[in-house]
Chain A
Amino acid sequence: MNGQILVSITDCRAGYSGKTDVLCGVSLTVRRGERLGIIGPNGCGKTTLLRVLAGILPYRGSVRICPVDPDYPHPGEPVERSALTARQAAREVALLSQLSSPVFPYTVGETVLLGRYARQGTGWKRSSTAEDREKVRKALADCGLTSLADRPITELSGGQLQRVYLARAFAQAPAILLLDEPTNHLDIHYQLDILDRTAAGIQRGEPLAVIGVFHDLLLARRFSDTLVLMDEGTIADSGDPDAVLSGDAVNRVYRMNVREALRDLSQSR
């Protein structure tokens, strides 16, 4: 099953309310088992692309995803992202955003259970099933949160909190997991912790593919098996991470010798 195309984007354009497009014709595909990293300078459109995939922004062009949820009317047949309801889309695509602080003190367990929302009944008949509880238990265990299940999320450290949101995304059981700079505001231990737990998820086939936006080029290289370099709303380069980071395009886009800069940063003085 590896290699099946899960997402195919063709000439996608998008922007924010009436202003000029931030995304100016992006095409790419994501296959089962893939870890796609997107890099690029501030304002290059990488987060906009992720917001289109998450269904937060409207777009023009084509963004087709291949539904794998067995309850979907035609699983396996590619469908336009905008044709899915919020509920159907949430069974296929989950989002882990930059760390944000919660307003109200939900417990860790309650927060992770919210990931099951799109798979529970609507209206009155919506109590949690045994399957929901099992998925939550497993997501908590996979993220090392079992002992924290009853703690209020307002009392957690940033790293622990991001683990909770990752567990919620796992509980959502999506085919595709979107990462929007998930390691921002985290210390190096938790940066690697979050990425390693995500990578372990891919190994288990939960989720089937990851699309991640990164500012940190070293983390992007470590995590991704394919790297996409964006600049001014288009794709400037893509392919093997090492090849992209030592190519000419990356130097032009960041206006510096990226390879040398990364080497300098990692060398001991």
Chain B
Amino acid sequence: MSNRSVFLLISAAASLVIIIAAVAIGSVAVSPIETISILVSRFTGIQMDPEIPGYRIAIVADLRLPRVLLAFIAGAALSVSGAVMQSVLKNPLASSFTLGVSSGASLGAGSVILFGLSGALHGMLTVPAAGFAASVLTVFLLLRFSRAIDPSLRNNTIILSGMILSLFLNAILTLFSVLSTDGLKNILSWQLGSFALRGMTPVYLLLPLTAAGTLAIFRYRRELDILTFGGDEAAALGVPVRKTKNTLVILASVLTGCTIAFTGVIGFVDLAIPHIVRRLWGPSHRTLIPFSFLFGGSFMVLADLFCRTVYPPAELPVGAVTALMGAPVFAHIYLSSRRSGA
């Protein structure tokens, strides 16, 4: 047990190092000491070395820091959300994406982009707000639909309903996008996901939300453990199954919905990270939730760093890169679960 706490502290420290390194690295290299002094002065107001040129301060504090923090929060939120979905639905391949949450968010954000509503309202917050509202709406629709065909809310019903809903929402978005050729490019770039040029607003909004959501989920760690053994068993062990399942699915969907509303669709992290954490520390949610948070965040920072440094000045879309790395993990989980099932 104390072993795990030590690893948790080490992981937290490593995450901090990765964040600072990612802020320092880029087309304009800033030394670690310079980076730290810029960051410290930004957060505490302490005067920094007057020798540091202004453009470097701007790059570190205004461009890279928001980007790196947003990447970390997004990776953490998506990974925790994925861990919850997999446990609640008893399926290591489940995620908010298979349930249609990302399709819902895409449709919401896409509609705003296509119909040009974003200029009319409050500029940069309209698209995320529409994405978030649509993803929450999707979850409620999913739960209503699943309950209508199967009141006991079996896991396979939820997963299959999610796939149906996902296909349906994607089809609507495709039809919409045919109506407008300009919008198509904007939607595509939104769907690929990015952390660039978002400023500190998303960070200020997402950080408390992700922290609170993760803590709320951590409170349910033992219920999550029990739910992986199935609904009937969980009921017999004393878990109010329907209420708990609903709460957890909504918490996980809100985490994903908020995140992709700001960053665009970034897939497979929510699948791969919890899988790797289970491999390293076992499936208990007392470790799975905090380690998924730290690993998911760090992984996303590194993935984004890779995207912006591998082929400068061009940037690779981070959603495509995570999918490229995640798909083999998906195949691995599927094949190994098939083998153990046989």
A: which residues have CB within 8 A of B?
Answer: 17, 51, 54-56, 85-87, 89-91, 93-95, 97, 100-107, 110-111, 114-115, 117-118, 120, 123-124, 126, 152, 154, 168, 172, 178
Q: Which of B91, B231, B237, B240 meets A114, CB within 8 Å?
A: B237
- Measured CB to CB, the nearest residue on chain A to B233 is A97
- Inter-chain CA distance A168–B226, complex, in Å, is 12
What is the bound-complex CA distance between A85 and B243, given in angstroms? 12
What residues on A are CB-neighbors of B341 within 8 Å? 101
Tell me, rounded to whole Å, the shortest Cβ–Cβ distance linking B223 to chain A.
Answer: 8
Other A-B pairs beyond A90-B238, A104-B283, A106-B282, 16, CB < 8 Å: A17-B151, A54-B236, A90-B236, A91-B238, A94-B236, A100-B233, A103-B91, A105-B282, A106-B225, A106-B283, A107-B282, A110-B284, A117-B226, A124-B219, A126-B222, A172-B237
Residues in chain B near residue A126, CB distance under 8 A = 222
Residues 218-238 of chain B: 1 if any A CB is under 8 Å from the residue's CB, otherwise 0? 010010011011111101111
Which residues from A are CB-within-8-Å of B236?
Answer: 54-56, 90, 93-95, 178
| Residues in chain B near residue A17, CB distance under 8 A | 150-152
A4 to chain B, nearest CB (A): 23
Contact of B238 among A89, A100, A105 (CB under 8 A): A89
Contact among A86, A104, A118 for B241, CB-based, below 8 A:
A86
A103 and B92 contact, CB distance less than 8 A: yes
Closest-CB distance, A18 to chain B (whole angstroms): 9
Chain A contacts of B225 at CB under 8 A?
106, 110, 114
Q: Assess whether A86 is in contact with B232, with CB atoms less than 8 Å apart.
A: no
Distance in angstroms between the alpha carbons of A105 and B282 in the assembled complex: 7
Which residues in A have their C-beta under 8 angstroms from that of B222?
114, 117, 120, 126
Shortest beta-carbon distance from B275 to chain A in Å: 10
Chain B residues with CB below 8 A from A172, complex form: 237
A104 touches B228 (CB 8 A): yes
Q: With a CB–CB cut-off of 8 A, which chain A residues contact B233?
A: 95, 97, 100
Give the docked Cα–Cα distance between A213 and B336 (Å): 34
Q: How far is the CA of A178 from the CA of B235 in the complex (A)?
A: 13
**Separation of A110 and B229 alpha carbons in the complex (Å):** 12
Complex CA distance for A161 and B237, rounded to whole angstroms: 17
Interface footprint category on B: 20 to 34
Docked pose: A124 CA to B340 CA in angstroms:
35
Contact residues in B for A55 (Cβ distance below 8 Å) = 235-236
A245 to B236 Cα, complex, angstroms: 31
| Pairs A–B under 8 Å by Cβ, sample size 15 | A17-B151, A17-B152, A51-B232, A55-B235, A56-B232, A87-B238, A103-B90, A103-B228, A105-B283, A106-B228, A106-B282, A114-B226, A117-B238, A118-B238, A168-B237
CA distance A91 to B236 in the complex (A): 9
Alpha-carbon distance A85/B238, docked complex (angstroms) = 8
Does B278 sit at the interface, judged by CB under 8 A? yes
CA gap between A87 and B235 in the complex, in Å: 9
B92 — nearest CB in chain A belongs to which residue?
Answer: A103
CB distance from B315 to the nearest CB of A (A): 37
B174 to chain A, nearest CB (A): 34
Question: How many Å lie between the Cα of A51 and that of B233 in the bound state?
Answer: 11
Compute how far the CA of A56 lies from the CA of B234 in the bound complex, rounded to whole angstroms: 10
Evaluate contact between A117 and B239: CB separation under 8 angstroms. yes
Q: Mark B134-162, 1 if CB is under 8 A from A, else 0.
A: 00000000000000001110000000000
Contact flags B272-313 to A (C-beta < 8 A → 1, else 0): 000000100011100000000000000000000000000000
Name which of A95, A114, A124 has the most chain B CB atoms within 10 A of its CB.
Answer: A114
**Residues B215-274 near A (CB distance < 8 A):** 219, 222, 225-226, 228-233, 235-241
A82 to B152, CA, bound (A): 17
A104-B90 Cα distance, complex, nearest whole Å = 9
Which of B90, B91, B235, B340 lies in contact with A86, CB distance below 8 A? Answer: B235
CB distance from A113 to the nearest CB of B (A): 9
Cβ–Cβ contact A95 & B219, under 8 A: no
From B87, B92, B232, residue with most partner A Cβ within 10 Å: B232
Are the C-beta atoms of B282 and A100 separated by less than 8 Å? no
Asked if residues A123 and B219 are in contact (CB atoms below 8 Å), the reply is yes
Residues of chain B contacted by A90 (CB below 8 angstroms):
236-238
Query: Which of these, B150, B231, B237, contacts A118 with CB under 8 Å?
Result: B237
Compute how far the CA of A152 lies from the CA of B151 in the bound complex, rounded to whole angstroms. Answer: 33
Which chain A residues lie closer than 8 Å to B90 at the CB level?
103
Find B235's partner among A54, A102, A111, A124 (CB 8 Å cutoff). Answer: A54
Minimum Cβ distance to chain A for residue B226 (Å): 5
* Interfacial chain B residues near A87, Cβ < 8 Å: 238, 240
- Chain A residues positioned under 8 Å from B92 (CB to CB): 103-104
- The smallest beta-carbon distance between B244 and chain A, in angstroms, is 9
Q: 8 closest A-B pairs (Cβ-Cβ)?
A: A90-B238, A118-B238, A104-B283, A95-B236, A87-B238, A86-B240, A54-B236, A17-B151
Specify which chain A residues have a CB less than 8 angstroms from the CB of B228 in the assembled complex. 102-104, 106
> Of B231, B237, B239, B283, which is within 8 A of A115 by CB?
B237
Query: A86-B238, A86-B241, A117-B238 are contacts. A104–B278 as well, Cβ < 8 Å?
Result: yes
Separation of A86 and B236 alpha carbons in the complex (Å): 8
CB distance from B335 to the nearest CB of A (A): 16
Query: Is there contact, CB below 8 Å, between A105 and B232?
Result: no
- Distance from A217 Cβ to chain B, minimum over Cβ atoms (Å): 25
> Could you tell me the distance in whole angstroms from the C-beta of A51 to the nearest C-beta in chain B?
8
Residues of the A chain whose Cβ atoms lie less than 8 Å from the Cβ of B152: 17
Bound-complex Cα distance A2 to B148 (A): 47
Q: Are B278 and A86 in contact (CB under 8 A)?
A: no
